[in-house]
Structure formats: C-alpha cells, structure tokens
Amino acid sequence: MQFRFTTAGESHGPALVTIIEGVPAGMPFDKAAIDHELWRRQQGYGRGGRMKIESDTVRILSGVRHGKALGSPIALMIENRDFVHWEDIMSAEELETQPKNPRLVKRPRPGHADLPGGQKYQARDLRDILERASARETAARVAAGAVAKQLLDHFGVTIRSHVAKLGAVPENPIVASWEQISAISADAPLACVDKEIEAEMVAHVDEAKANGDTLGGIFEVVAHGLPVGLGSHTSWEEKLDGRIARAMMSIHAVKAVEIGDGVANAGRFGSEVHDEIFSSNGNFERRTNRAGGLEGGITNGEELRVRGYLKPISTLRKALNSVDIDTKEDSPAAFERSDITAVPAAGVIGEAMLAIVIANSMREKFGGDSLSEMRRNFDSYVSTVRSY
Ligand code: EPS
C-alpha cells in the first residue's frame, strides 16, 4: 500500500482539489488540524494582497465517515474565494461575449513557467500556463501533507520547519535545535528561531519591497522521532534521500536541496564529516548528526534534516525585460500583484512534502488495511530493531 496524492485546480479557478490514497481505515480524521496547516501556509511577512482575500479551509468530499478514515480515497476541496472576481476570465464554458477586461497575459515573466509553457502548450494567452504554474497549488499539497502528518502522529513522528536564511540574511544559514524550532510561535513574522536576526530579515524584506524586488532564501524541515530503517540502499528508487530531494525540488521556486550538512560537508575531510558510532549501555549512539538522519538512503534514527533553497519570486514590480509574444517587441514583464517573499510558507509546504514521503515509506514498510493492523506491524518491527 502506498500513501499517494494528486492535486487539481487553477489559481483563480473555483477551487483546488486533492485526492489522497493510502490512509488506513479507522484513522481519526481531524479537519481542524488540516485547516490550521492551511492557515500556517498563508502566514509570513512579505506575502501579497491575495492572502488577504483567501482564508483557506477544506471541505471533505469523500473517504471519511463519523470522524474516521474509511480506507477509501479521501477527496478534499479548498475553495478559491478570489474566483468571484474571475468568473468570466476563468469560465469553464466558452464565452459568448469577451470580458471587458480579459486580462490576457502576453509578456512572460523571466524565471516563471510562462514562456517555455506557452511555447510547449501553444498558448496564446499565457494565463493558460500561469494559472496552474502558480504556487497557489501548494495549498492542496499542504492539505494532503496535513493528513500525512496525522498518520505520522500515531507513530511518534513530528515534522517542523524554520527559516534558516532570508535573502542574504544572515550570511550563514541558522543552525537550530529541535527544541528551538518547536518553540517558534505560530504568529512569528518569518518563522526564525532568533528574534534579532528575524528583525534584520524583516528589514531586508522591506528593502526589497521598496525597490519593487523579491527575495528567496533557505528553509529547513526536520522530522523528529523516526524509526531506523525507512528507505533502502538496495535500489536507486528506494533511497529515501532521493525521494525526499525529488519531493522538495517539486516545490515552486526550490532550486537546490540539501540533506544534513551536505553542502558544507563537500568541502571537509571525511574525519570531520561522518558521525562516529559509540556504544552506550549496549545501544548504538551518535553524538553528531551531520548526515541529517540518513545513511545509504536509510533513516538511522537521528533527526532527519532537509533544507530547501528558494530562488526569489519571479513576479517583480520592478519588471524585468521580456518580449511580447504577439508583437515580438521588447517590453517589461507582466505584473499584477505578487508576494515579496514566501520562504516561511515554503517551509510549511516542505513539511507537507516530507510528511507525504515519510508516510508513503511507512505505508510501504508496515502495510495494513486498518490503523490497528499497521500499528501491530510497526510495533513488532521496532522491537526487532531494538534487540539488534
Ligand atoms: C502567485 C501569485 C500570487 C500569489 C500566489 C502565487 O497570486 P495572485 O496572482 O492571485 O496575486 O499570492 O500564491 C497564492 C495565491 C497562494 O495561495 O499561495 C504565483 O504567480 O505563483
């Protein structure tokens, strides 16, 4: 059994939808917890006007009865409140009369899917591309990820994130403990563990805003409480770090992924990198975790740490040069409204994607049609590993 999901929906269409498979029957289903994750994704200093319009919540369409999962596909829907302003432009039916302001997009934004998407799909209105390329889609991923988190909760696995760097601040990504990350308050402006650095980050966002510019940054996601043995060294597709990297890279604007201290480790001696193994009352012990919880593509029981590196958002008020796809003349790229930065939101999305990859790995390893069957398999495996 796999835990898997798909999403559908355009940014200014009627709704986003996700269908999730592989949730074991009998799992208590907490809608409020999903809505809370959606709320978290909408926070963060530097978000644009759209977040004032949307207030994302899910409607459960299938797969849940009397508060428990049935084991069947779960369909969740998130309405786009903004759709009321776009009904004719985003209409599924052919229009008899063109809207007064059709808001055609003809000037592709450098860095966005606009131009290669337009060329590939032969779109003469680049809205056909940008509506689906928009990071709005990640609301549906966060809903699916919130369900994965609920499953992981039953096995003692918790996932959180923090912003390690916002644009150029600070120079080196912040190193934060699980306790520090867990203590970040839900309304912190930039999900940073250090209040002074966070104030500098806020000023950096203000600077970008004043210049009509945008910023990227680095988020770190940490999974706490993982069992040893998720993923496998036996084949490339089974390596958990490979699966995690793919999931993280699929998040909008993520351009690099790092596990543990992977980037810094590339410039160090082996003796400075590998986490030595010590004996402690008949158990194995690590005193460092530079590997980020994975060795040979297998979880080793330490915290799993993954960083996502985001490029700056590609919709700039200070528009970059582009070319009109009809006239072929140089003209500034399209701008309607945009976020200045979305690194804290990307962290929440990173949590969701990591939760989904780990939930899938747990479903593959422990199987079971019901939560209690999965639990028995899990407990028996964990006690086998303990006696190793
Ligand atoms: C986005 C552009 C903005 C963002 C949007 C992603 O939307 P709009 O064009 O409606 O102002 O706010 O993000 C969301 C709507 C969201 O929910 O995260 C883009 O072009 O990627």
Ligand 1 contact, 338 CB (< 6 A): yes
**Rounded distance between C-alpha atoms, residue 165 and residue 155, angstroms:** 31
Give CA–CA dist 213/231, Å, rounded.
41
Domain of 46, in residue numbers: 4-386
C-beta of 131 in contact with ligand 1 (< 6 A): no
What one-character-per-residue DSSP string does 150-199 give? HHHHTTT-EEEEEEEEETTBSSSPPP--HHHHHTS-TT-SS--S-HHHHH
Q: Which two tokens stand for residue 145?
A: 């990820």
- Among 136, 337, 341, 349, say which to mutate for ligand 1: greatest number of ligand atoms within 8 Å of CB: 136
What is the Å distance from ligand 1's center to 50 Cα?
Answer: 6
Would you say 286 and 302 are in contact if contact means Cβ atoms under 8 Å apart?
yes
Tell how far the Cα of 97 is from the centroid of ligand 1, in angstroms.
Answer: 27
Burial grade of 324 (CB within 10 A; 0-12, 13-18, 19 or more): middle
Q: Hey, whose CA ends up nearest to atom 15 of ligand 1?
A: 136
pTM passes above 0.85: yes
CB 38 less than 6 A from any atom of ligand 1: no
Kindly give the distance from the C-alpha atom of residue 346 to the centroid of ligand 1, in angstroms, as a whole number.
13
Whole-number Å distance, alpha carbon 158 to ligand 1 midpoint, is 28
**Domain count of the chain?**
1
Strand partners, 7: 18
Protein residue with its CA nearest to atom 16 in ligand 1: 136
The CA distance from 7 to 56, in Å, is 15
Q: Does residue 136's CB lie within 6 angstroms of at least one atom of ligand 1?
A: yes
- Token pair 């200093």 is at which residue? 45
Provide the residue-wise pLDDT of the chain in tens; the chain has 388 residues: 999 999 999 999 999 999 999 999 999 999 999 999 999 999 999 998 888 899 999 999 999 999 999 999 999 999 999 999 999 999 999 999 989 999 999 999 999 999 999 999 999 999 999 999 999 999 999 999 999 999 999 999 999 999 999 999 999 999 999 999 999 999 999 999 999 999 999 999 999 999 999 999 999 999 999 999 999 999 999 999 999 999 999 999 999 999 999 999 999 999 999 999 999 999 999 999 999 999 999 999 999 999 999 999 999 999 999 999 999 999 999 888 889 999 999 999 999 999 999 999 999 999 999 999 999 999 999 999 999 9
Nearest CA to ligand 1 atom 21: 134
β-strand 4-8 against 15-21: which pairing, if any?
A: antiparallel
Domain at 130, CATH number: 3.60.150.10
Q: At 332, phi and psi to the nearest 5?
A: -65, 145
Amino acid at 43: Q
The SS3 of residue 101 is: coil
Does ligand 1 lie within 6 Å of residue 53's CB atom? no
Q: What residue owns the CA closest to ligand 1's atom 12?
A: 50
Q: Where do the H-state alpha helices sit in the chain?
A: 31-42, 50-53, 114-121, 127-133, 138-153, 178-182, 195-210, 240-249, 262-265, 270-273, 343-366, 371-386
Q: Is-contact 355 66, C-beta < 8 A?
A: no
Cα of 26 from ligand 1 centre, angstroms: 36
DSSP 8: E
User: What DSSP designation does 214 have?
Assistant: -
User: Residue whose CA is closest, atom 19 of ligand 1?
Assistant: 134
The reply to whether ligand 1 has any atom less than 6 angstroms from the CB of 189 is: no
**Rounded Cα gap, residues 70 and 355, in angstroms:** 20
Give strand ranges (E) for 210-368: 217-224, 254-259, 277-280, 283-286, 294-295, 298-299, 304-310, 321-323, 330-332
CB 170 within 8 A of CB 190: no
